[in-house]
Amino acid sequence: MISVKGLEKEYPGDTTTQALRGVSFEIGKGEFVSIMGPSGSGKSTLLHILSFLDRPSSGTYLFGGKSIGDLSDRELAGVRNKEMGFVFQAFNLLARSTVFENVELPLLYAGVDGILRKEKVQKAIFDVGLNDKMHTEAGKLSGGQKQRVAIARALVNDPPVLFADEPTGNLDSKSGAQIMDILRVLNDTGRTVILVTHETYTASFGKRLIRLRDGYVEYDGDMPSEKEMISGAIK
């Protein structure tokens, strides 16, 4: 589903900053991959490139067998809306809009018919266990509930790939575990999940770990134990 080879990303300035240095890997359909790394390792830059929010300075990126270098910004936006879902640390909800209205937004942008749109929104909200909050303003929800709304919004277009950027960063441990359980169930039903996090507990829900350091892939393999990650024993 995703194949990157020799990805480089440079940010020009008085001193050029090289965020990625020859990053290469493949992610197959249905994988749950956690991407970790210290601050400045390049994980956020990598996420932005994988999710079409940025382009690499060099290297190749194939999504579904198609090179993103061959697509215009408008074409990339279309693929992003249909093929990708996004969950962010800050939720990015409209506080004065209801849960239903927040989840509905991607379908409005996609021009989905009203009756089908209602069915899709209701199903997405039900799937994250918030059907009793459907007409509640998002600003009145708890942090964990807001993140569930964000997941429902990410899923409403039924995208094959879900990107989660520090999805538990603003949550208490109980709410964070509930969110990760939802992501795990989504993966178990066939959805590809790509998670960026600095938390070893959150990362451990993945089945594969890609760890970056100074723009390089330092580790790419099966998910090690939390103890191994904390101790730095993995190679």
Mean of pLDDT values over 187-192: 94
For residue 203, the model assigns a pLDDT of 94
For residue 25, the model assigns a pLDDT of 97
Is the pTM of the predicted complex or chain greater than 0.85? Answer: yes
CA distances from 11 to 15, 59, 208 (A): 9, 15, 29
For residue 234, the model assigns a pLDDT of 61
Q: Which 8-state DSSP code applies to residue 223?
A: P
Question: Which tokens is 14 given?
Answer: 């008085």
Residues 6+ apart with CB under 8 A from 162: 84, 85, 86, 87, 154, 155, 183, 186, 191, 192, 193, 194
Q: Name the β-bridge partners of 18.
A: 10
Mean of pLDDT values over 193-199: 94
For residue 230, the model assigns a pLDDT of 65
For residue 70, the model assigns a pLDDT of 87
Strands of the chain (E only): list them: 2-11, 17-27, 32-36, 58-63, 66-67, 84-88, 161-165, 192-196, 208-213, 216-222
Which tens digit of pLDDT belongs to each residue from 26-54? 999 999 999 999 988 999 999 999 999 89
Q: Which residue has the tokens 């989840």?
A: 103
What is the pLDDT confidence band of residue 233, given thresholds at 50, 70 and 90?
low
State phi, psi for 186 to the nearest 5 degrees. Answer: -60, -40
What is the pLDDT confidence band of residue 218, given thresholds at 50, 70 and 90?
very high
Angle at alpha carbon of residue 20, lines to 16 and 25, rounded to 5° = 165
Share of the chain above pLDDT 90, in %: 76
Q: Are 136 and 99 in contact (CB under 8 A)?
A: yes
For residue 130, the model assigns a pLDDT of 95
Q: Is 9 helix (H, G, I), strand (E, B) or coil?
A: strand
Which tens digit of pLDDT belongs to each residue from 71-115? 898 899 888 888 999 998 888 999 999 999 999 999 998 889 999
Q: Are 94 and 146 in contact (CB under 8 A)?
A: no
Mean of pLDDT values over 161-179: 92
Which tens digit of pLDDT belongs to each residue from 108-161? 988 899 999 999 999 999 999 999 999 999 999 999 999 999 999 999 999 999
Chain-wide mean pLDDT for the chain?
Answer: 92
For residue 232, the model assigns a pLDDT of 61
